[in-house]
Chain A
Amino acid sequence: MLIDPSVIAIPLQVSQRVLIALTSISGLILVAAGLSIIFGLMGVINLSHGALMMVGAYMAFTVQDAGLPAWLGLVIAPIAVGLLGILIESSIIKRLYDRPLDTLLATWGIAIILREGIDLVYGTDSKSVDALIGGEISLVGVTYPVYWLFIVLAAVTVLAFSAGVFKYTDIGIMAIAVIEDRQMAAASGINTEWSDRLTFAFGSALAGLSGAIMAPLLSVNSNMGINWLVNSFLVVIVGGVGSFVGTGVGGILVGGLDNLFRTLSDFTSLAQAVVLLVAFVVIRFRPNGLIPAQKGGE
């Protein structure tokens, strides 16, 4: 093809921007997926979500540090953090289902314990984790790390898988039943205690998985969770609490806006501030998010 390179210069930059945005949107959705279950569906205001993701990233690091194959990290992280979720639910969260605001406080306590515990075990210095898949491919004229594509794929898969679990599997439908009407569900023979526990563990496992997947792109340290925690809440709230489509839309909006403002100005923190302001306004005008969940037969 004969195209003047000066003409293509701008579109090339745009397509690169779009690909970067696509990756960061996918990352946001991936990390927020677990929260959209624990906060969106269960109503637990889980401030330990970022810390659970951080523990997942450390699991990936541990696997790498032990010289084991990297894919094992993606298996061990969700299992370990899922078990941690069971522990947290059965010791703390189960006592607080009727006091939602107190779940916020208690989970913040959990986040502190996890953060300090990780510092104790691994030290305070930042770790780096190698990507599962190396290499780059050329896409619409831009070289693009293959691992970024993997993240996009993972985000789509995780979101679709979670939505599928709660829509089509017995255990998922039971979990929804318990969340919507605990007494009715118990009366129809569902073990509500274990249903809650498994739902919480599922959300935690997704947080752990997202940590392990995102680890190669981030500097892994005990404080990495806070930013992701705030962003995950923005994604879930802006998109719509209790709906996986909403989480997807929220991720696109939050990530898209963030990237847009980053391109427009050099002030990266300010870009985040603008996104936060947008979220603040959304909470005021659309407290159920842009795509609210459809409840039952309504």
Chain B
Amino acid sequence: MSTEAVTSSRVERILNDPHRAIEVAGLLILVLIPVLYPPSDVQTWAVYLLFCLLAVSVDLVWGYTGLLTLGHAAYFGAGAYLTAKVTTEIPAIPEVVVVFVLSPLLGAMLTLVVGWFLFSADVKGAYFAIATLIISVIFGNVVQQFTEFFGGFNGLAGIPTLSIGSIEFSVMMEYYTALVMLVVIYAGARLLTGSAFGRALKGIREDQKRTEAFGYNTELCRLLVFTISGGIAGIAGGMYATIDGFVSPPIVGFVLATEVVIWVAVGGRGTLIGAVAGALTIQFLESELSDLLINFWQISLAAVFIIVVIWAPGGLVGVVDEDSRVVRWLRTKLVSDAGSSEKQITEMTGKKND
């Protein structure tokens, strides 16, 4: 086999499943981040990863069931503030328990209550979006109002870093913990959406009445996925508090809620990889470009967002979907030229004969 043929088959493999390629390449980059960047930046990257988790939780609900949630900042913030309060006030409870048990529980409980309340009346569409937005604004108000308890505008500082026993997590350990969390939850979400349950969710998105007619309890399905996503948002918030060491109203309210939605939309909703890719890319570009472009950064991001919403609902990863125009074009250019055209033709004719 010539080297040319080897590369061509590799290219073909990538083009047959471009999203897998993005996953592998992305994971590779993320694993190497602590090597590429100084420790001060690694902490920033750890925070990016947590916002990726939040984006995954939003995509699970919005991308798969079509319910646009603007309330996830509240569940993220709830996890963060809970961790901030408990770790500083009740040192008897280990941080690990607060972050990995209590925070997701609080997020899940909140979404369970909100979800039960809204889904039992079949609130959806614009009303669901606005009702969940109200949740975010209420949380923002509450956090700002109780200056004594929640620190008001100044927020709460001095949150201890994670530690197990007497070992305190270094920035490196925090980063890899966040990365492992992201990989595990991403893989879990992937399994979930690929399962029969995931197909039921997509059924709800496409046609809720028909899915009900097939005998699915769509209310329960929606409640389940909403609760799971609330748990993910909670755990992301809890980790955020310990890694950043500081929580303040911006991570609870309206602004973060809409930012996540922009990440997921631009990345590509309903793909999970799009949520992660969008969150990472936009946060990275924002830190690199916002000083240079000042107001034009937000303006161009908003313009891209509008363009994606109107013309490319699949987002950036939708452009490199396995049967998107770009990938099909690349396949004809790269793969058939390198000698596997015959194989493709037999494949195609084989399919025709079926």
Contacts and interface: CB of A to CB of B under 8 A. Distances in A.
A92 B138 contact: no
A273 B302 contact: no
Given A269-B144, A283-B130, A96 B310 contact: yes
Contact of B303 (A104, A109, A119): A109
Contacts of B125: 100-101
Interface residue SS majority, chain A: helix
B123 A92 contact: no
B141 interface: yes
Nearest to A227: B137
Given A105-B261, A284-B118, A117 B299 contact: yes
Given A92-B310, A106-B306, A279 B134 contact: yes
B130 A233 contact: yes
B131 interface: yes
Contact of B306 (A92, A101, A119, A270): A92
B309 A106 contact: yes
Interface string A282-298: 01110100000000000
B332 to A, nearest CB: 31
Contacts of A131: none
B138 A284 contact: no
B284 interface: no
Contact of B302 (A113, A276, A285): A113
A109 B141 contact: no
Contacts of B295: 116-117, 119-120
Contacts of A100: 125-126
Nearest to A286: B121
Contacts of A92: 306, 310
B42 to A, nearest CB: 30
A280 B129 CA distance: 11
A115 B258 CA distance: 15
Given A106-B310, A272-B141, A283-B130, A113 B299 contact: yes
A230 interface: yes
B344 interface: no
Contacts of B137: 230, 272-273, 276
B133 A230 contact: yes
Contacts of A284: 117-118, 121, 123, 131
A285 B68 CA distance: 20
Contacts of A279: 134
Contacts of B66: 101
Contacts of A237: 127, 130
Contact of A280 (B135, B303, B310): B135
A105 B62 CA distance: 13
Contacts of A283: 118, 123, 127, 130-131, 134
B254 interface: yes
Contacts of A234: 134
A269 B145 contact: yes
A285 B141 contact: no
A179 interface: no
A19 interface: no
Interface string A229-253: 0100110010000000000000000
B327 to A, nearest CB: 25
Contacts of B258: 108
Contacts of A96: 309-310
A114 B303 CA distance: 11
B67 to A, nearest CB: 9
Contacts of A267: 145
Contacts of B68: 101, 104
Given A109-B306, A113-B299, A226 B254 contact: yes
13 contacts: A92-B310, A101-B125, A108-B258, A109-B262, A115-B298, A116-B296, A230-B254, A233-B130, A267-B145, A269-B142, A269-B144, A277-B138, A284-B123
> 8 closest pairs, A vs B, by CB?
A112-B302, A109-B306, A269-B141, A269-B145, A273-B141, A109-B302, A116-B295, A109-B305
